[in-house]
Amino acid sequence: MRVYNFSAGPSVLPEEVLTEVQSEMLDYHGSGMSVTEMSHRGKWFSEIAASAEQGLRDLLNIGDDYHVIFVQGGASTQFEAVPLNLLGKNNKADYVVTGNFAKKAFKEAGKYGDIRLAASSEEAKFTYIPKLTAKDFRQDAEYVHITSNNTIFGTHYTKLPDTGGIKLVADMSSDILSKEIDVHDYAVIYAGAQKNIAPAGVTIVIARKDIVDNDQSLPYCPTMLKWATQAKEHSLYNTPPCFSIYVADLVFKYLKKIGGVKAMAKLDEEKAAMLYDYIDNSKLFHNYVAKEDRSVMNVPFVTGNLDLDAKFVKEAEAAGLVSLKGHKLVGGMRASIYNAMPVDGVRKLIEFMKKFERENA
C-alpha cells in the first residue's frame, strides 16, 4: 500500500512516473534492457539526456544564454563548486544565511576567498528572511549567494534581494519547479534533484553561458567540479547518474502534461494555504515562521509539548501519513508538501490533525 510520504528528501515522486519507470524496467522502449544497464554514450541514453535538458529548458523558459548541466555530488558539492567556478577574477562574495544549508554553503565558500556574511536570521532561529537592499552587499563582490527555500526551517524568499546588479547565485534544491521564475534574475541556479525532481544522485546547474565560457574559475578548481567541463561535454564528461536523469526526464514530461510550472505553482499554493490556514486556526498546532516568509514546500509545526509531538508522529504514521518528524534542529513536526504530494495527501493530513486535536485538547 502506498502511504502519503511527507519526507523532506528524498521525497515523494509522481505515482504516474513511478508506474512508467516500473513498466520500462526490464525493457526500455524495445532496447531489451533497463536504463540502469545501458551505455551512457549509446543512442538510447543520449536521447534521454537531451530530452531531460530540453524538458527543463521548456519548463523554466531557459534560453540559449544559459548552460543546463546535470552533475553528481548533490547540492552540497555545489557549495564548493560555486566559489571554485566564480572566484577566479575577484575573490569576493557575499552570503545570506537563512538556514542550515545556507550556513554550510557560506562555510565552504570561506575556504576559497574573501567571503562575507551579508545577513543572517540565525538570531531568530531562522524564522524569517532578512529584507535586503543593495547597500547590504559589497558592490565589488563577484556574487551574492542565497538559499531560495529553507527546507529545515520552512521559510522562502517571496521577493529577491536587490543586489544592486551583483550576480545572484541561488540554491533552489527544495523549491525548483514549484513556482515560475525569470532565470535572468540569476547568474547561477543549482538544485539537488531529490526534493522536486528525481531520485537522489543528480544535481542540476543552470549557469549563464558568458560566465562559464569566459572561465573565471579558480586555478585549482577540480576538473570534475568545473561547470565548463560538463557544459562542453553536455554533462557526459564521465558517467552521469543515468537513472536519476531518466526519471527527471519523465518528471519534466509529467509536469508539462499537467500544465507546466504555472499549473504546478497554483496547486502548490493551494496545498500550502490549506495547511497553514488550518494551523493558524488550530488551538493545538503552531507555526513560528514569519507569515510573509512561509515556505510553500516545507511546513514545520509544533504542539509545544514534546510528548504530544512524538505521539502525533507515531499515530500519523500508523494512519499512513509518514515522515512527519521535524528536523532535529527544529523539533516538532514538518510536512514537506513538494510538487508530487497530491492535494488529497494534504487533505488527509489536515483531517488527521483535526482528529488529533479533538482527542488531545
Ligand X SMILES: *Cc1c(COP(=O)(O)O)cnc(C)c1O
CB closer to ligand X out of 9 and 88: 9
128 near 291, Cβ under 8 Å? no
In the window 52-111, what residues touch ligand X (CB under 6 A)?
74-76, 101
Instruction: Give SS3 for 156.
Output: strand
Candidates 151, 163, 229, 323; binder of ligand X (CB under 6 A) is 151
Candidates 174, 178, 217, 303; binder of ligand X (CB under 6 A) is 174
Query: Minimal distance in Å, beta carbon 190 to ligand X?
Result: 9
Q: Which of 198, 196, 164 is nearest to 181 (CA)?
A: 196
Pairing of strands 188-192, 298-301: unpaired
CB closer to ligand X out of 75 and 221: 75
Query: Minimal distance in Å, beta carbon 131 to ligand X?
Result: 20
Query: Minimal distance in Å, beta carbon 338 to ligand X?
Result: 10
Query: How many residues make contact with ligand X (CB under 6 A)?
Result: 12
Candidates 9, 83, 326, 332; binder of ligand X (CB under 6 A) is 9
Site membership for ligand X, residue 295 (CB under 6 A): no
Candidates 11, 173, 230, 303; binder of ligand X (CB under 6 A) is 173
Q: Tell me the C-alpha distance between 61 and 221, whole Å.
A: 30
Query: Minimal distance in Å, beta carbon 130 to ligand X?
Result: 17
Site membership for ligand X, residue 154 (CB under 6 A): no
Q: Could you tell me how far CA 9 lies from the centroid of its own chain?
A: 9
Site membership for ligand X, residue 147 (CB under 6 A): yes
Q: Tell me the C-alpha distance between 83 and 171, whole Å.
A: 13
Give residue number: closest CB to ligand X: 74
Name, in order, each residue with C-beta under 8 angstroms of 257's C-beta and a sequence gap of 6 or more: none
Site membership for ligand X, residue 217 (CB under 6 A): no
Q: Tell me the C-alpha distance between 357 and 361, whole Å.
A: 6
> Which run of H or of E encompasses 299?
strand 298-301
Query: Minimal distance in Å, beta carbon 65 to ligand X?
Result: 25
Site membership for ligand X, residue 161 (CB under 6 A): no
Site membership for ligand X, residue 332 (CB under 6 A): no
Query: Minimal distance in Å, beta carbon 101 to ligand X?
Result: 3
Query: Minimal distance in Å, beta carbon 9 to ligand X?
Result: 5
Site membership for ligand X, residue 170 (CB under 6 A): no
Q: Is the peptide bond before 83 cis (omega within 30 degrees of 0)?
A: no
Q: Which of 146, 112, 106, 111 is nearest to 129 (CA)?
A: 146
188, three cell numbers:
547561477
Q: Tell me the C-alpha distance between 154 and 192, whole Å.
A: 17
160 near 153, Cβ under 8 Å? no
174, three cell numbers:
527544495
In the window 180-209, what residues touch ligand X (CB under 6 A)?
192, 195
Site membership for ligand X, residue 11 (CB under 6 A): no
Pairing of strands 167-171, 188-192: parallel
CB closer to ligand X out of 174 and 287: 174
Q: Which residues bind ligand X (CB under 6 A)?
A: 9, 74-76, 101, 147, 151, 171, 173-174, 192, 195
